[in-house]
Amino acid sequence: MTQFVEWSAALSVGIDEIDAQHQALIDLINEVQDAVVGGLDREHQLDALGRLAEYTKIHFAVEESLMRIFGYPDYERHKAQHEGLIRSMLDLQRRLDDDRAALDDGLMRHLKHWLLDHILQSDQDYSRFFLAAGALSRHQKPSWATRMWDHLHFCGSKCWS
C-alpha cells in the first residue's frame, strides 16, 4: 500500500545516519496521517503528533550540532527554518489540546511538503558542504558522534526550547 510520505533515493543526503533519521521522521508522519485518516480520537492523534514533535527536535539538534562542529556557513538560516517548524508544531499541539484546531488534510499536506522541501533543499545543501569538505570522512567514527553528544549534553534542553 502506498504510504502518505514515501522514502526515495532522491531524498538521500549521502550520510547514512541522517538518512536513517529522515526515514524515521517519515514513518512518524505516516503514523500521524494514519491516526487522522483512521478517524482515531484526539488523544491518539495528539500522541502520534507528540512522538513526531519529539523526534523532530532530536533530529534538528543533531543536524545543528553537526553544522556547528563543521563550521557550516549557512547555519543561522538553517536553524531558523528548524525553529519555525518547531514553533508551528508546538502551536498546533496547544490548539489541538484546547480543541481549537483539528488535524486535517491541509495541515498534513503542509507538514509533508515542509519536510520534503527542507530535505531536498536545505539538508542537501549542508550535506554537500560536509562531503566536499571531507568533514565526515575525517570525523565519522567515533569522534564526530562523540563531539555531537558532548554538545547535546552541554546545552541540554536549552537547545530545543
* Chain contacts with Fe ion (rule: CB under 5 A): 63, 123
Nearest distance in Å: CB 59, Fe ion: 6
- Give the CA-trace dihedral at 81, 86, 92, 96, to 10 degrees: 160
* Nearer to Fe ion among residue 61 and residue 96 (C-beta): 61
Q: Which is nearer to Fe ion, 42 or 71 (CB)?
A: 71
Q: Which residue is nearest to Fe ion (CB)?
A: 123
Q: Pick between residue 14 and residue 102 the one whose CB is nearest to Fe ion.
A: 14
As given in the structure block, the three cell numbers for residue 50 are: 507528540
CB of 60 to Fe ion, least distance (A): 6
Instruction: Please count the other Cβ atoms lying within 10 Å of the Cβ belonging to residue 124.
Output: 16
Q: Residues in the chain, how many?
A: 161
What's the one-letter identity of residue 124? Q
The least distance separating Fe ion from the CB of residue 101, rounded to whole angstroms, comes to 25
For residues 11 and 18, give the distance between their C-alpha atoms in angstroms, rounded to a whole number.
Answer: 11
Q: Which is nearer to Fe ion, 45 or 56 (CB)?
A: 56
d(CA 51, CA 47): 6
Q: 42 Cβ partners below 8 Å, 6+ apart? A: 96, 99
Min dist CB 154 to Fe ion, Å, is 21
